[in-house]
Structure 1
Amino acid sequence: MYITITSFNDLHGEKPLKLNGIVKLVKEPDNKYDTEAIRCEMRYFGKIGYIANSTRTVIKGTMSAGRLYDKINDEYFASIKFVSGSTAIAKILTADEYIKEVEDPESDVHYLVENEAKIDLDFIKKHFGGM
């Protein structure tokens, strides 16, 4: 599964959007503009933007935040695969890819996850294991 990330140029410019960079996805159910908002964070930068959730901003072939919202835990991870200006396309990590990141002591996952014990691998395998 792929998603469109819309970045905030005024916060960090395009700098955080690097190929294969790990992005933490955080649901924001109390967001006053969009109850299906999913915030995107990166190591060293914090919040870099949101998963696109509008027909004007979602790149064709990627999932909107609304379509992804019920398929992920309260926080999850993706890897940036394409960058164009202040927009990126990221791939949602499969269960195996997530485990591989966790096994790498240098992975940004360790700096971004709030509580690794909260990541439900059975839930992830159910939704992402076959990708």
Structure 2
Amino acid sequence: MSLAWLDEIEWTEDGLVPVIAQDSIGGRVMMFAWMNREALALTAADGYAVYWSRSRQRLWRKGEESGHRQKVIDMQLDCDADVILLKIEQEGGIACHTGRESCFFRSLHDGAWQTTEPVLKDPKTIYK
């Protein structure tokens, strides 16, 4: 398969593109991450999300430790060609390393961030 489609993306100076992972059925935003060319090509080829970990400086296959993989249902590029939207099925129902469904679990109330989502599984039991 030709990878010419990767050339249409407006990569950052660091060679990355921001990626939003959204539940394909309910539409909830599950997480935000980054991909480089290799991660995006692997995601397209394998059908499961592969990200670039900026903190670890390496590819990160979502769910490689937790088992909470993201099956890609659709991959979309925004109008400016600088953001990727993945419509996914979240395996295990947990996208966040904190053990929550989504990484977006805090809301601003009365000038303070308040946790509004429960922990579904203790991270100590998810990660080794």
TM-score greater than 0.5 by the shorter chain: no
Q: Normalised by the size of structure 2, how large is the TM-score?
A: 0.29
Higher share in helix: 1
Tell which has more relative contact order, 1 or 2 (C-alpha 8 A, sep 6+): 1
Q: Normalised by the size of structure 1, how large is the TM-score?
A: 0.28
The structure with the largest alpha-carbon Rg is: 2
